[in-house]
Structure 1
Amino acid sequence: MGKVEERTLPILDRWDPPLRPARLIRRYKRFLADVEMDGQADPVTVHCPNPGAMTGCAEPGMRVLLAPVANPKAKLPWRWVLSETVEGVMIGIDTTRANRIAAALLARRAIPELAEWPEWRAEVVYDDGNSRVDFLLTDPRTRCPPLYLEVKSVTLRRDDRLQFPDAPTRRGTRHLRALARIAAGGEARAAVLYLAQRDDGACFSLARDIDPAYALAHEEAARAGVMTLARQLRLTQTAVHDAGPLPLEEA
């Protein structure tokens, strides 16, 4: 996607204050990384907000972008938010930002399959108190049943497919089974939104070889009536853009 196209894409979020570039030395203990920053003689340790494998997103020597941490009591002053591939593609590695971006998509009614629900609440307890759903969508003006929405952050690219998960996820499997129970009950609807924090894939597919249990739970959820949606984002050093729907790989 070229620069001209980028200017025409809706902006969902902005990086404020501006991001600072660095060079990745290593990622370790899942949530830590050492980087080289201009003007710093020694390596700087930063927070890595991603518990996954981060395949292709955390190679030593990669250019990365950091956001300053606003909390003055934080142990680490920088948060790693973007990785740049050798092809120049920006990847959003901050899994916690996915829900914020999803909320912006909901506010714009950018996803046609979800546009009929004008209101939503985040982090709602359900499944007899055993889980929290990312969003509960409602329409108090009609008899439209509520919709339970889970959001999954996608960073893995293999061949020309963007895939989830990049590591086994028991939590994700549990979420899918809870959504399946909701959909099968008939009083509410359910959906899972795979939010690709990159836009260099031709389609979305499950990484069945990485987590067969998750893939099986996904198939069972689909049979129960859970919708599968996929969206891709265009990330830059200044903003997060909506790059539109991501096609689902045909079975």
Structure 2
Amino acid sequence: MQFNKPLEVGILHQRYKRFLADIEFAAQPQSIETVHCPNTGAMTGCAEPGYKVWCSVSDNPKRKYAKTWELAQNFASDWIVINTQRANQVAGEALQQGLITELAEFNEWLAEQRYGEQNSRIDWLGESNTGAKCYVEVKSVTLVEQQCGYFPDTVSARAIKHVQELEHMREQGHRAVMLYVCMHSGADHVKPAAHIDPKYANACINAAQKGVEFYALSTDINEQGIRATGVLPVMLSHE
């Protein structure tokens, strides 16, 4: 995916109240502006004061905050995607391009489709020429420790629910996929974060044993856009 307009660059002062961040933009030095932070996670390692950041700008006059925090660069020069909505876009492009060869039979992909007994929404629903279906749940990975990308970055009952819903789809005979999009340039593999949410990690192991598939995508990130570049290993274990 490409950003529609050039991003504005600045320095992060603080992220607070989950959805807000104060940034000093290069175009207006010494002046602090509040922007929208589209990320509900803990953002561990993603929001340290002094990080270089990039924001998109909306033309919508009804918005309270015109700018949206999109990217950050940490002190090790790793790129991080802050806007979690970008993960679905990147995943959709990768699926449509057949980047994950194990899913290449599915040549039509539909976003945000309702499914399951709880009338949930699946991020991507794939259909093949034979009528087979593949349900793909996308997760944005931004927590990286020693080159390992972890999900989630905080305890998440919602994330466990998504794993269980994929299990149900698999039980009905469909392909079911958990797809981690690594939105951090410093990772070379992905794991469920057992040290943060052991219940989620166990749910993933149980789901894999029942046929749910786990994949992860590496990404190239810069101020022009974000694109998936390949498949990373996903390691499921009780450790």
In structure 2, how many angstroms separate the alpha carbons of the residues matched to 1:232 and 1:112?
15
Matched, 1:131 2:117: no
Corresponding residue for residue 166 of structure 1 = 153
- Match 2:187 to one of 195, 201, 224: 201
Structure 1 equivalent of residue 105 of structure 2: 116
1:144-183 mapped onto 2 (5 Å cutoff): 145-183=132-170
Q: Secondary structure at the match of 2:203?
A: helix
SS at match of 2:99: coil
After TM superposition, the structure 1 stretch with the greater mean CA deviation from structure 2, 92-101 or 33-42, is 33-42
SS of residue paired to 1:181: helix
The alpha-carbon deviation at position 41 of structure 1 amounts to: 4.3
CA distance in 1, matches of 2:227, 2:169: 32
Percent pairwise identity: 39
How many equivalent residue pairs?
236
One-letter amino acid matched to 1:112: T
Indicate the residue corresponding to 1:70 in structure 2.
59
* CA–CA distance in structure 1, aligned partners of residues 154 and 235 of structure 2: 20
CA apart distance, 1:88: 1.5
Give a deviation string over 1:20-79, Cα, whole Å, max 9, x none.
111111101101001111325431000001000111100011111111123221110100
In structure 1, runs of 5+ residues without a counterpart are: 1-12
Structure 1's consecutive aligned runs of 4 or more residues displaced over 4 angstroms after TM superposition are none
Q: CA-to-partner distance for each residue in 1:188-214, whole Å, 9 max, x for gaps?
A: 110010000123222111111111121
Match status 1:190 vs 2:179: no
Q: 2:220 aligns with which of 234, 242, 246?
A: 234
SS of residue paired to 1:190: strand
Instruction: Please say if residues 115 and 121 of structure 2, whose CA atoms lie closer than 8 Å, have aligned partners that are also in contact.
Output: yes
Structure 1: which amino acid aligns with 2:148?
Answer: R
Unaligned runs of 5+ in 2: none
- The answer on whether the counterparts of 2:192 and 2:236 sit within 8 Å (CA) in structure 1 is no
Contact 1:194-1:231 at 8 Å conserved across structures:
yes
State the distance in 1 between where 2:217 and 2:181 align: 5
SS at match of 2:176: strand
1:219 aligns with 2:205: yes
After superposition, what is the alpha-carbon deviation per residue over 1:154-188, rounded to whole angstroms, capped at 9, x for unaligned? 001011211111111111111100111111222x1
Post-superposition offset of 1:86 = 1.4
Separation of aligned partners in 2, 1:124 and 1:234: 27
Deviations 1:212-239 (CA, angstroms, capped at 9, x unpaired):
1211211121111100001111101112
- Under a length normalisation based on structure 2, what TM-score does the superposition of the two structures give? 0.94
| Aligned position for 2:77 | 88
CA distance in 1, matches of 2:117, 2:60: 34
Report if aligned partners of 1:199, 1:243 keep a CA contact under 8 Å in 2.
Answer: no
2:19: which partner in 1? 31
Q: Which residue of 2 aligns with 1:4?
A: none
Q: Distance in 2 between matches of 1:169 and 1:95?
A: 15
**Cα deviation digits, residues 119-171 of structure 1 (max 9, x gap):** 121111111243111111112x315x211110000001011211111111111
SS at structure 2 position matched to 1:137: strand
TM-score, structure 1 as length reference: 0.90
